[in-house]
């Protein structure tokens, strides 16, 4: 099923100049970036985004980190993309992430794990609306699509 997911390149990714390498992996996989912006997450946006974690002991540290420097928000579109991107990221803790995944290749931390991606379609809808308005999405049929998959694949 065609889906969209919210991806955040977190402060550690921006600071370490890994934005291009991470975005390249999504492009190489054949996924479409349909919106992208750099911004500074405010404490209020952090609380909205991480609503399910606000009461957890690690939240103050997470908020300090995610608001510490700019991030890049991307809307990524593709078939089954919510699961696919989570698979590409690997385990939350970079120490446990399998080599070959993004976190497995670039992160050795639970908090500084470089990239966030929506964990379900419901989360994707909610999170995309926090970072983007309808007019931000550049949704068009790319000429390369027929080279990426057969018509009956979706």
Active-site annotation, residues: 116
58 part of the interface to ligand CMP, by CB under 6 A: yes
Helix (H, G, I), strand (E, B) or coil at 79: strand
62 part of the interface to ligand CMP, by CB under 6 A: yes
Shortest distance, position 120 Cβ to ligand CMP, whole Å = 12
77 part of the interface to ligand CMP, by CB under 6 A: no
110 part of the interface to ligand CMP, by CB under 6 A: yes
Torsion of CA 103, 6, 79, 85, to 10 degrees: 10
Residue of the chain from 13, 103, 116, 127 that contacts ligand CMP (CB under 6 A): 116
* Number of Cβ within a 10 Å radius of residue 150: 7
Which lies closer to ligand CMP via its Cβ, residue 67 or residue 148? 67
Residue 100, sorted as left (phi over 0), alpha (psi -120 to 50) or beta, turns out to be left
């Amino acid at each position: 099923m065609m889906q969209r997911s919210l991806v955040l390149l977190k402060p550690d990714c921006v600071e370490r100049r890994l934005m291009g390498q991470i975005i390249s992996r999504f492009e190489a996989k054949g996924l479409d970036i349909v919106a992208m912006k750099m911004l500074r997450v405010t404490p209020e946006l952090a609380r909205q985004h991480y609503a399910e974690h606000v009461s957890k002991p690690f939240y103050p540290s997470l908020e300090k980190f995610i608001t510490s420097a700019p991030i890049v928000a991307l809307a990524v579109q593709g078939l089954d993309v919510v699961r696919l991107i989570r698979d590409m990221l690997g385990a939350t803790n970079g120490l446990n992430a399998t080599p070959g995944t993004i976190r497995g290749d670039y992160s050795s931390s639970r908090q500084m794990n470089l990239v966030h991606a929506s964990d379900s379609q419901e989360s994707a809808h909610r999170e995309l609306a926090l970072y983007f308005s309808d007019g931000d999405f550049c949704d068009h049929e790319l000429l390369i699509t027929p080279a990426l998959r057969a018509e009956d694949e979706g």
